Structure 1
Amino acid sequence: MSGGKHHVFRRFAVIAKPYWLSEEKWKARGLLALAVLLLLGQTGFNVLLNEQTGEFTSALAAKDADRFWLSIRQCVAIVVVAVPIYAFYYYVRDTLGIHWRRWLTSRFLDRYLADRAYYELNASGAIDNPDQRISEDINAFTQQSLYFLMIALGAVIQLIAFTGVLWSISRELVYFLVIYAIAGTFITVVVFGRVLIGINFLQLRREADFRFSLVRIREHAEAIAFHRGEEPESFQAKQFFQAAFINFRRLLRAQLGLNLFQYGYSFLTIVLPSAIIASQVISGELEVGRAVQAAGAFTAVLGAVAVIVDHMEGLSRFAAGIDRLGTFSKTLAARAVERRDAGGRIESAWGAHLALEQVTLQTPGHERTLIGDLSVSVEPGQGLMIVGDSGGGKSSLLRAIGGLWDAGAGRIVRPGPEEMMFLPQQPYMVLGSLRSQLLYPDRARQVSDEELYRLLERVNLPDLAQHFGGLDAELDWAKVLSIGEQQRLAFARVLLARPRYVMLDEATSALDVGNEEGLYRELAATSTTPVSVSHRPALLKFHRQVLELTGDGNWRLHRADDYRFG
């Protein structure tokens, strides 16, 4: 178990440490120090209340009214001061938690979106449900880190504060308490700890898989409805839930054993302290109130030294969350090393035009060669059309030109990222307004409304803005627009941005011939050079060369004027 604990502690340190050394470190440390001070105040008030509880109990037993009412007044005064201390403690702790979460979320998002990590992780499947790890696991990590940190600090403070009280009343209770706490902690960690951590880790994954299956149904609702795929989708979602259900049953059985032990361990503390000091109370050596005070101190000290016993269930879930977040962080950090140590890579170079020099393209894991020893140059104004059978590597070649795939050999010379754009067959509709759709990805760019309206006319969407409430209307554009309208809107982005080259992967497949030719004529009137994947003969006149991929790794280059589709 010690190896497992050290593993968890190392991962916790890797995730947590950067925040406390970041640009927000003084704010974080200040809030933490304030929370500790408030926690000290809480413990101080607990000691005072425990003392007054024993005092008015003794006063009642002695039938001393003056002593009793004095103690009650002191209790009320303590409570009046203690209530704000308790309230502000939770406010400060949770304020620190939300600031920590904001910083850590931003850090993970930056790493996840840097250097197309999100794309490679999604393609490889190396990490399940990264969205949940960023949205939910980080939230749980920051909240539970502070929760258990404060519990640990509170336990230490409580141990120091109440041990002296208990020692002054009964040393036998102190000796018994130490043995009892050590035994309970050992049994909890060894018997229940490792099992619960593993099952909780698996439960987080099972729940995330079930949630993802439901998200897929929502995202692909129309396709499922057309195929009448409700039955298989229901079966698959139920399978994911069944896996979560079965694992949760395992978790319940493990927790049942832990709960039996915890409650037995806890309930014994009601009897044992009284049994140990009963003879002193009966003989008159201790007042009844002192016995009550001793029982309260015993419970407080036991709660401090047996903190693992009392919180094993929560600690196991916390450890599982640390493992998931730690794995995610480690995977992001290891990507650069893996890329460096992997097989052959296609070199990249910046240049004024697009050229592929003896490029051999392979699938990302080097399992298959798609294209061998390809050399082709695309000069500005001389478009290239890529044709071939399905699965021949056309879209893969565009991915290589865009830098998404680089497994293989050779060199690709390309302009800078701001000089190239890519339009897939399924356009990406961003969250936001119609204006945001047109300006994406440079949404900070200043463009007049008149220019945007003219742009919509150029792509044959003259009434789109008026129909949906103007350029600043915010809708789910992927749902309210047809695929053809989405493709025309994506084309408008190219006409506005005017990149040097645009990669078009069946980007007009949902359009009729008239709309398709109209868009390419608009493109030809600009300085943008198209590199198109298409099978439509009508587009040949907008290109100078045709690259034919045969599907077996070979290729042929033709003049567009001479090429004929088979």
Structure 2
Amino acid sequence: MNRFNCTAVQQFWAIAKLYWLSSEKFNVLALFTILGVLLFANTQVKVLLNTIQGDLISALAAQDRTRFWQGILMAFGGIIFFGFLNSGYSYLRERIGLYWRKWLTHYLLNQYFRDRNFYDLSNFHKDIDNPDQRIAEDVANFCQQSMQFLVNIIESIFVVLAFSIILWSISANLVIALVIYSLLAYTITIVLYGRKLTQLNIEQLKKEANFRFGLIRIRENAESIAFYNGISQESHKVKFLFAHVYKNFQRLILWSEIYLNIFKNQFGYLTLIIPALILGNQIISGEIEVGKVTEASGAFGQVAFSVNLIMYQFEKFTKFAASINRLYVFSEYFNQPRKQIDSTRNIDIVNDSRLAFDNLTVQTPNYQKNLVKNLSLSLEPGQGLLIMGDSGCGKSSLLRALAGLWNSGTGVIVRPKLEEMLFLPQRPYMILGTLREQLIYPNDQVDISDQELEKVLYLVNLSDLGTRFGGLDVEQDWSDILSLGEQQRLAFARLLVTKPKYAILDEATSALDVNNEEHLYSLLVDTGTTFISVGHRPSLQKYHQVILNL
């Protein structure tokens, strides 16, 4: 179980140090200092209120009216001040957590997009599930919970120091009892409940994410499911996913709400009895005032809660440990060197101002099947290459190798840098944005006027697109409101806008009629772009100088 604690701490620090050992931490150190001052002041007010509570009981027992009302006035003042302090440090805690989340989110996003890691995760490392949830939810939970636990720990240290002095001044036996009580509470909680609750929370996060992903897939493929009338099968699938959520959550609440709560409630209420047991004889004999029991009980409870913070917030702690694990695995993926079966069985890519394949063999990523074998050809600038063949013969896989998405195989690919190439897949990617952003994608900005963009739309037979949807700067869900043929023409317009030196078209006109397809290829030929096409129609052959049959 100690190994469980050490693992959680090591994983936590591996993520936390990214921010707190960076230069960005200086932006929040002033806020953190103010936070510490407020926590210290908050502790002193707690000590004052606890002392006043004991004085009020003693004043009532002694029937001392003046002392009683003085205590009431001081208590009201302390409560008002206590409210301001709590609000202040809560605000600063959330503000620091927000700064931390912003930095960590940007860091992970940079890692996610670096070297197209998002593609590798999606296709080759599916054991790291739901990266979207890890970046969005797990980062938020990690930063917020970290700050909450950190503030609780700092506050607990102040509370233990301040109230232990009070307890020692009343009776040294109270401090000894407190140490024994705390050791028992910590040991029992960690040993009996630690690993089980953490594992259940990890499983719950994973199963909830899978259930949500299943619902998202239905939303994104609603039309296809409706056409297939696959309602029954899809319904069974998501209900099956939810059944796993339900079953695991049953076990989780059994452990957290029954087993753990029985122990917490029984052990927690001992703090009300222990001070009375220790001080009972002194009160009865008149050695100390009766209010000292109240003061000691309050101080004992404060220190016991602070020392045993893990026991009282153990359910939150195990959920936090689960999210740490998911975030740690995700973060460590980016720091690990990419595993390769054999460096001699990887395709070499050489950057040059031409396109060529030299004795190229393309294999599936698991190296178990040859898709293209011993291919050699060279494409002159301005020429077109048409790749044809039966479905599943490796046409798209050859393009994946050309783009550097797959490197399983042997041989050499000579190609220009990716910045000089534009890939058009069969199913165009429609970004969330305006029509202008669709046309200039994947660039952020292109020096082109509205008139030129409208001319491009006219050339690809989409001249009415701007007027239909409110102009070039109106955001729409383009993948939803445009047909596949319109999307393919819009994607083709990107070629005319960005004017790449090289273009790769993977059945990029498959949804178009022959006339529209011939018109677009005529425009492409006129640009002088060197291009590679994957297609089935014989009518495409006249636009390509080299034909490759796989």
Matched residue, 1:397: 398
Matched residue, 1:135: 136
Matched residue, 2:192: 191
Matched residue, 2:85: 85
Q: Does 2:328 match 1:320? A: no
Matched residue, 2:460: 459
Are the structure 2 counterparts of residues 341 and 169 from structure 1 closer, same or farther at C-alpha, using a change threshold of 3 Å? Answer: farther
After superposition, residues 539-558 of structure 1 pair within 5 angstroms as 539-549=540-550
Kept in 2, the 8 Å contact 1:43–1:158? The answer is yes
SS at match of 2:345: coil
Shift of 1:419: 1.2
Deviates more, 1:531-540 or 1:441-450: 441-450
Rounded Cα–Cα distance in structure 2 between residues aligned with 1:337 and 1:476? 36
After superposition, residues 58-137 of structure 1 pair within 5 angstroms as 58-124=58-124, 125-137=126-138
Matched residue, 1:558: none
Rounded Cα–Cα distance in structure 2 between residues aligned with 1:78 and 1:309? 29
Shift of 1:27: 1.6
Rounded Cα–Cα distance in structure 1 between residues aligned with 2:189 and 2:25? 36
Rounded Cα–Cα distance in structure 1 between residues aligned with 2:370 and 2:35? 60
Q: Does 2:159 match 1:158? A: yes
Deviates more, 1:95-104 or 1:357-366: 357-366
Rounded Cα–Cα distance in structure 2 between residues aligned with 1:258 and 1:68? 41
**Equivalent residue letter for 1:504:** L
Shift of 1:339: 4.1
Kept in 2, the 8 Å contact 1:366–1:408? The answer is yes
Deviates more, 1:429-438 or 1:409-418: 409-418
Rounded Cα–Cα distance in structure 1 between residues aligned with 2:442 and 2:58? 75
Rounded Cα–Cα distance in structure 1 between residues aligned with 2:380 and 2:4? 59
TM-score (norm 1): 0.95
Matched residue, 2:359: 358
After superposition, residues 367-386 of structure 1 pair within 5 angstroms as 367-386=368-387
Matched residue, 1:517: 518
**Equivalent residue letter for 1:111:** Q
Q: Does 2:210 match 1:237? A: no
Kept in 2, the 8 Å contact 1:20–1:28? The answer is no
Kept in 1, the 8 Å contact 2:357–2:377? The answer is yes
Matched residue, 1:563: none
Shift of 1:342: 5.8
Shift of 1:83: 2.2
SS at match of 2:12: helix
CA offsets 1:349-400 (integer angstroms, 9 cap, x no match): 1111101111111111212111111111111121000011111000000011
Deviates more, 1:507-516 or 1:172-181: 172-181
SS at match of 1:465: helix
After superposition, residues 156-235 of structure 1 pair within 5 angstroms as 156-235=157-236
Rounded Cα–Cα distance in structure 2 between residues aligned with 1:94 and 1:455? 49
SS at match of 2:508: coil
What is the aligned residue count?
548
Matched residue, 1:331: 333
Kept in 1, the 8 Å contact 2:422–2:502? The answer is yes
Deviates more, 1:20-29 or 1:517-526: 20-29
SS at match of 1:452: helix
Matched residue, 1:254: 255
Rounded Cα–Cα distance in structure 2 between residues aligned with 1:34 and 1:172? 36
Deviates more, 1:6-15 or 1:87-96: 6-15
Matched residue, 1:265: 267
Rounded Cα–Cα distance in structure 2 between residues aligned with 1:427 and 1:23? 41
Matched residue, 1:289: 291
SS at match of 1:503: strand
Matched residue, 1:562: none
Shift of 1:343: 6.0
Rounded Cα–Cα distance in structure 1 between residues aligned with 2:413 and 2:70? 88
CA offsets 1:91-147 (integer angstroms, 9 cap, x no match): 100000001000000000000111010101100213111100000000000011111
Shift of 1:19: 0.6
Rounded Cα–Cα distance in structure 2 between residues aligned with 1:14 and 1:176? 37
Kept in 2, the 8 Å contact 1:385–1:540? The answer is yes
Kept in 2, the 8 Å contact 1:32–1:96? The answer is yes
SS at match of 1:338: coil
Rounded Cα–Cα distance in structure 2 between residues aligned with 1:32 and 1:201? 31
Kept in 1, the 8 Å contact 2:344–2:410? The answer is no
Shift of 1:340: 8.4
CA RMSD after TM alignment: 1.2
Rounded Cα–Cα distance in structure 2 between residues aligned with 1:186 and 1:194? 13
Kept in 2, the 8 Å contact 1:440–1:493? The answer is yes
Rounded Cα–Cα distance in structure 2 between residues aligned with 1:198 and 1:343? 41
Matched residue, 2:487: 486
Matched residue, 2:477: 476
Rounded Cα–Cα distance in structure 2 between residues aligned with 1:531 and 1:52? 84
**Equivalent residue letter for 1:269:** T
Q: Does 2:11 match 1:16? A: no
Rounded Cα–Cα distance in structure 1 between residues aligned with 2:343 and 2:122? 18
TM-score (norm 2): 0.98
Shift of 1:28: 2.5
Kept in 2, the 8 Å contact 1:424–1:507? The answer is yes
For structure 1, which runs of at least 5 residues remain unmatched after alignment?
550-566
Are the structure 2 counterparts of residues 48 and 391 from structure 1 closer, same or farther at C-alpha, using a change threshold of 3 Å? Answer: same
Are the structure 2 counterparts of residues 342 and 142 from structure 1 closer, same or farther at C-alpha, using a change threshold of 3 Å? Answer: farther
Shift of 1:272: 2.7
Rounded Cα–Cα distance in structure 2 between residues aligned with 1:8 and 1:409? 42
Matched residue, 2:32: 32
Shift of 1:33: 2.0
Are the structure 2 counterparts of residues 343 and 9 from structure 1 closer, same or farther at C-alpha, using a change threshold of 3 Å? Answer: farther
Rounded Cα–Cα distance in structure 1 between residues aligned with 2:182 and 2:4? 22
Matched residue, 1:554: none
Are the structure 2 counterparts of residues 324 and 537 from structure 1 closer, same or farther at C-alpha, using a change threshold of 3 Å? Answer: same
Rounded Cα–Cα distance in structure 2 between residues aligned with 1:30 and 1:393? 59
CA offsets 1:467-515 (integer angstroms, 9 cap, x no match): 1110111110000000000000000001111111111111101100011
Are the structure 2 counterparts of residues 424 and 14 from structure 1 closer, same or farther at C-alpha, using a change threshold of 3 Å? Answer: same
Which of 273, 276, 279 aligns to 1:277? It is 279
Rounded Cα–Cα distance in structure 1 between residues aligned with 2:355 and 2:339? 28
SS at match of 2:346: coil
Shift of 1:273: 2.1
**Equivalent residue letter for 1:80:** I
Kept in 1, the 8 Å contact 2:349–2:414? The answer is yes
